[in-house]
Structure 1
Amino acid sequence: MTTTSPPHDADLSSIEETRAALLDRVEERLRSFIAQEQSRWFDINPRAAQGADAIAAFIASGGKRLRPKFCLSGFLAAGGSPASSGAVDAAAALELLQTFILIHDDIADNSSLRRGEPTVHEVFAAEHRARGWQGESRRYGEGVAVLAGDLAFVYADQLAAQLPALSRGVWNELRAELVIGQHLDMVVAAEGVGDPVLSRWIAVQKSGRYTIHRPLVLGATLAGRPDMAAAFEGYGLALGEAFQLRDDLIDAFGSTEDAGKPTGLDFAEHKMTLLLALAAERDPRVRDLVDRRDGKPWDVELLRKILEETGVRATVERTIAGLVDKACASLATSGLDEAWRHEFSRLATQVAYRSR
């Protein structure tokens, strides 16, 4: 794994403390913004506040805050002022965008848990059942949750409204890539397309660019350094692919307790992940198992067994390590100072080798 020589502890502490202070401001911005929305809609009618209430609960449930962290890291590494309110709003907007996509994703994946708690659509469906309301509880829960996700998307754009032109362009591209990537993820799963090239492209679009690359570039442009886009693209795309591969491994082999959400959902929903596409390319047994047009469930345990036997799991681990090396090496000629190069190396390891 590529590493840089550790800089002075004081430099690293300064980076972490400055970013932590900004992340605290992001949390406060999210809390105060959503609280204001809850209040104004509640005053009209308590039911009108349910969407904002769901967003508030979702954000309060935790999350890794990776996108705000990378946005602020790009901003600070590019020389942005810690006093900036624009960077705080941009980072908060990214977390609201993440709220939007995860609420929708849980519906698409038929997931009952997120961060160890019932998903938004399950909460609303349970309320419908408990109160004996008219109609179908599942459809009600999913419909109301979709609207809560839409509201999070609206709020994200409100916080991003004051972005300067260059940053706004990055924001717009980020949102489009995310939605198109999610769309393709669903369509390819439905069609049963086992194409590693396409699967890799989808992983890059819906995860790599959205999670790391675009937030970094968004932060850099806010700091007035769009010239850093190329270096952050090399880092972000390589690390983003490693991030998605780790996600695939967690879903395939991890536990629900550790992940905070049901694992095995990619298999259950016939998702042609990058992991599975690579396996299908190597072993005809995998192709036979996933190439089903009759809509019947895949044999999940047999798939896991074959992935182990064929060495695909080990191959993916080696691929992740290589991608981390590639990400870190891409910053060698970026002009970043030693402390920031070391910090980005640390973040790469943290992201690529997480357990949830």
Structure 2
Amino acid sequence: MANDAVAENDLRLTADRPTEGDDPVGAVLAAYTRDLVEAVDHTLAAFLSDEVESLRAIDAAMGGFAATARECVLSGGKRVRPTFAYWGWRGVAGGDTPLPAVLPALAALELLHTFALVHDDVMDASATRRGRPTAHRALAAQHVAAGRRGDPDRFGDSVAVLVGDLCLVWADRLLARAAVGADRLLDVRRCYDQMRVETIAGQYLDVLGESDAANWSVDRALRVARYKTASYTVQRPMLFGACLAGVGPDEPLGVAYTRYGLAVGEAFQLRDDLLGVYGDPARTGKPAGDDLRTGKPTALLMLARQAADPAQRRALDRAGGATDEREIADLAEVVATTGAVDRIEQMIADRVSEALAALDLAPIDETARTALVGLATAATRRQA
């Protein structure tokens, strides 16, 4: 995507906001990501083509392994993290700064995201992702089709872990290609490393919560949302983008980005909590009710337990043990009758308001401000 194309797109978007008769959520999200997603995908495809070939040269078997990793990266996704990083950068750099210099860094965030998704699916034993078999399930099926010896599920899990690890290394390699000064790249790397540490911390707390749900709380569920999702989905990508433009996290704009990013990121996860129970599988690409099947102590489930009467609490105690679709639907109804869904919706709305307030006084480019206002709503009202 050339710089001229970015500037033209910005002008069109500020002039042609979606109307009430459109699908405002989908229209805003698509409008503010369309050209960027194309540029990120092109950057990833070119980078991965060379990387897959270099692995194939090691051994013929590596070709299939590397191709699976590439497919995990390129098989859809909304490119949310590169989008927030771009607008974090754009808010500082303005419309006249060439984008190609920072595209490798923006695209690297998608490789980091793939690492997290593949490992998360193994830990959650998830069957589908984006409407397709998860990496470990696809690899297990390959094991069976090839007639290999041993447990196909163990093979699938083991190789999926390696796929995730490879994506993490690829992210480092691609980030190093950003055409910014060495000192600035070092600052960017510090932000990137902090994002990775916080993601792992949030993921550990998520795993711990499933094994210790009786001792969990709403506050702890929100802490998981902050570190597992908010940090590496919105807050840190925006600070990452600001660092690419030479602005640090302690400067006024960095403080505003942190406030906005945490609020939108937490709201993003709270929406995920709702979609994990009530989402349409045709849109989410995952079975409905998965969180109830596993008993994951999300903020939604913790609020439901907190507000439940004795009969409702006894019903909610079945979360994590229910497998029948009728049971899952009944549990979802119990959660709703406690008022937890309405409380989560209010928490999402409050966080979006907090995010927009953070932008009011932020010293950023006006086109970026308009985009971030739209994205705050779109990312938290989505249906997938």
Structure 1 residue 303: deviation in Å? 2.2
Report the CA distance between 1:307 and its aligned residue. 1.5
Give the secondary structure class of the aligned counterpart of 1:44.
Answer: coil
**Partner Cα separation in structure 1 for residue 231 and residue 73 of structure 2:** 22
Equivalent residue number for residue 44 of structure 1: 58
Q: Where does residue 210 of structure 1 map in the other structure?
A: 232
Match of 1:113 in 2: 128
Partner residue of 1:167? 188
2:79 match = 65
2:139 is equivalent to residue 124 of structure 1 = yes
Deviation at 1:84, TM superposition (A): 4.0
Q: Work out the CA distance in 2 between the residues paired with 1:316 and 1:292.
A: 21
Q: Please name the residue that 1:245 is paired with.
A: 270
Give the C-alpha shift of residue 24 in structure 1: 3.0
1:250-281 alpha-carbon deviations (Å, 9 max, x no partner): 11111211211222221222210111112111
Aligned 8 A contact 2:119 2:164 in 1: yes
Q: Distance in 2 between matches of 1:308 and 1:292?
A: 15
Deviation at 1:21, TM superposition (A): 4.6
What is the match of residue 373 of structure 2? 345
Contact 1:109 1:265 (8 Å CA) reproduced:
no
Aligned residues: 348
Amino acid aligned to 1:166: D
Tell me which residue corresponds to 1:12. 14
Q: 1:115 and 1:82, CA in 2 relative to 1: closer, same or farther beyond 3 A?
A: farther
Shift of 1:311: 1.7
Aligned to 1:271: 296
Q: Given that residues 190 and 270 in structure 1 are in contact (C-alpha distance below 8 angstroms), is that contact kept between their aligned partners in structure 2?
A: no
The one-letter amino acid of 2:133's match is: P
Cα 1:13/1:55, change in 2 over 3 Å: farther
The Cα shift of 1:240 comes to: 0.7
Q: Distance between the aligned counterparts of 1:79 and 1:14, measured in 2? A: 23
d(CA) in 1 for partners of 2:370 and 2:39?
A: 25
**For 1:212, what is the secondary structure of its paired residue?**
helix
2:219 is the counterpart of 1:190: no
- Flag structure 2 segments of 5+ consecutive residues without an equivalent: 1-9, 18-29, 178-183
Ranges in structure 1 where 5+ consecutive residues have no aligned partner = 1-7
CA distance in 1, matches of 2:170, 2:107: 10
**C-alpha distance after superposition, 1:225-255 (max 9, x if no partner):** 2222100011111111110011010111112
Does structure 1 residue 201 correspond to structure 2 residue 210? no
Q: Alignment partner of 2:360: what SS?
A: coil
Q: Does the Cα contact within 8 Å between 1:270 and 1:290 map onto a contact in 2?
A: no
In structure 2, the partner of 1:5 is none
Q: CA deviation at 1:344?
A: 1.0
Residue from 282, 285, 292 that aligns with 1:260: 285
- Post-superposition offset of 1:17: 8.7
User: Structure 1 261/82 Cα, relative in aligned 2: closer, same or farther at 3 Å?
Assistant: farther
SS at match of 1:342: helix
Structure 2 residue 103 is the aligned partner of structure 1 residue 101: no
Given the alignment, which residue of 5, 27, 30 partners 2:44?
30
234-243 vs 262-271, which deviates more? 262-271
* Maintained 8 Å contact 1:236/1:327: yes
Instruction: Tell me, yes or no, if the aligned pair for 2:229 and 2:266 is still in contact at 8 Å.
Output: yes
Q: Post-superposition shift, 1:171? A: 0.3
Offset of 1:319 from its aligned partner?
Answer: 1.8
In structure 2, the residue matched to 1:301 is 329
Q: Confirm whether residue 90 of structure 1 aligns to residue 92 of structure 2.
A: no
CA distance in 1, matches of 2:36, 2:342: 38
SS at match of 2:57: helix
Answer whether contact 1:19 1:73 (CA < 8 A) is retained: no
Q: Which residue of 2 aligns with 1:220?
A: 242
The amino acid that maps onto 2:225 is: A
Encode CA deviations 1:113-136: one digit per residue, 9 max, x unaligned: 111111111111111122221100
Is this contact kept in 1: 2:307–2:339, CA < 8 A? no
Letter of the aligned partner of 2:14 in structure 1? Answer: L
3-state SS of the aligned residue for 2:93?
Answer: coil
Which SS does the other structure have where 2:287 is aligned? coil
The CA deviation string for residues 91-141 of structure 1, in whole angstroms up to 9 with x for no partner, is: 111000111111111111211111111111111111112222110011111
Aligned residue type for 1:276 = L
Distance 2:343 2:356 in 1: 20
**Separation in 2, partners of 1:82, 1:274:** 41
1:174–1:214 Cα contact (<8 Å) kept = yes
Between the aligned residues of both structures, percent identity stands at 36
Counterparts of 2:53 and 2:263 in 1: how far apart (Å)? 43
Closer, same or farther: CA 292–311 of 1 in aligned 2, 3 Å: closer
Which deviates more from structure 2 when the two are superposed, residues 90-99 or residues 333-342?
A: 333-342
1:300-319 matches, within 5 Å, as: 300-319=328-347
Asked if the contact 1:238–1:324 (Cα under 8 Å) also holds between the matched residues in 2, the reply is: yes
Shift of 1:331: 0.8
What is the Cα deviation at residue 292 of structure 1? Answer: 7.4
Secondary structure of the corresponding residue to residue 354 of structure 2: helix
Q: TM-score when scaled to structure 1?
A: 0.90
| Per-residue Cα deviation, 1:290-326 (whole angstroms, up to 9, x for no partner) | 5579x74485333211122122112211221121111
